[in-house]
Amino acid sequence: MSHPKHSQYTIIYHFHYLVNMSTNSDNYAIIPYMIQDILKNIGISDTASRIYLHLLENGVSSARQIAENLNMPRPSVYDNLKVLITSGLVAEQDKENKKLFQIDDVNNISHLIKEQMDNLEKQGKDLKEILPNLAKQQDFLEPKIRSYGGADGLRHAMNDILWYDHIETSCVWPMSEMIKVLGADYLNEFNKKRIRRKISLKVIWPQDKLVDFKEFQFLGVGEEFLRDLRLGPKGMTWNMGFLLYADKVIFVSSRKESFGFVVHSRDFAGLMKSQFEMIWPLCEIVKPNPKDTAPFLETI
């Protein structure tokens, strides 16, 4: 999940990139698609974007011409033109008692992005002030349980962890089964994002669910990987895993059953944490060869 401010900087970069591209006729064909994507990111509807692109390509036009060329009801054209004019993207002019419309300064898109960045920064500060009160209210909420099915649903559930920063998680994880159900490619990207967000792991694997560290380099152990790994006691095995984070616990089944659920409850999370901490000292520390997994760190 990217930071909102980072996303806005990305939009600004794309916009200035488009301006530079526009001088090259070979690149012109892809510009409309990129502009439409930028307009969408700053809150301009698809309909309004189509009108903007029409004016960009055809120049000064009347509402009737726009409606006919885009096969769009004229009232809808007028409504969206008002939005574009208010946003500073389109200018209106009267010529011989006839209203005509044209693109305003294209740099106004940059101004809109900057305005959104400023608003997001202010909202971020406001949210920081009210978060303590929201956290207190959350203590009185009833526990929530959400279920998920299939590989895509389980990946969606796992992605919830990536909303957090600088947290420690505890995990009882049958690794070979989790690779089968979630997929190596997904787990590779998941661990990149996890490390960037400074989410550390304390993990217990059953001894009969080990995997090859050379093949799955994203499973490296140590300070740079933000992962402590131990093996459960001999004879202790499981096919379903759980991962404890914040006040939540996510359970993920094997590929055979392919289901999972998330429990959001402070009491339940506390119980699972206590059980994990009882087992942790009984487990064997794992220290794979750093050379087997080091290449993964270069991709982060």
Q: Where are the domains of the chain?
A: 4-110, 144-297
- The upper half-sphere exposure of residue 26, i.e. CA atoms within 13 Å in the direction of its Cβ, equals 0
What architecture is the 144-297 domain classified under in CATH?
Answer: 2-Layer Sandwich (3.30)
pLDDT value at residue 37:
84
All residue ranges of the chain with pLDDT < 70 are 1-30, 135-143
pLDDT value at residue 118:
86
Alpha helices in 22-162 (DSSP H): 31-41, 46-58, 63-70, 74-86, 108-138, 150-159
Tokens 């999972």 belong to residue? 260
Residues 6+ apart with CB under 8 A from 93: 60, 99, 100, 101, 102
Q: Out of 3.40.50.300, 1.10.10.10, 3.40.190.10, 1.10.240.10, which CATH number does the structure's domain 4-110 have?
A: 1.10.10.10
pLDDT value at residue 7:
45
- Residue 173 DSSP symbol: -
Q: Among 100, 108, 111, which Cα is nearest to 77's?
A: 100
pLDDT value at residue 73:
95
Q: How far is CA 151 from CA 154, 155, 182, 206, 262, in A?
A: 5, 6, 6, 22, 15
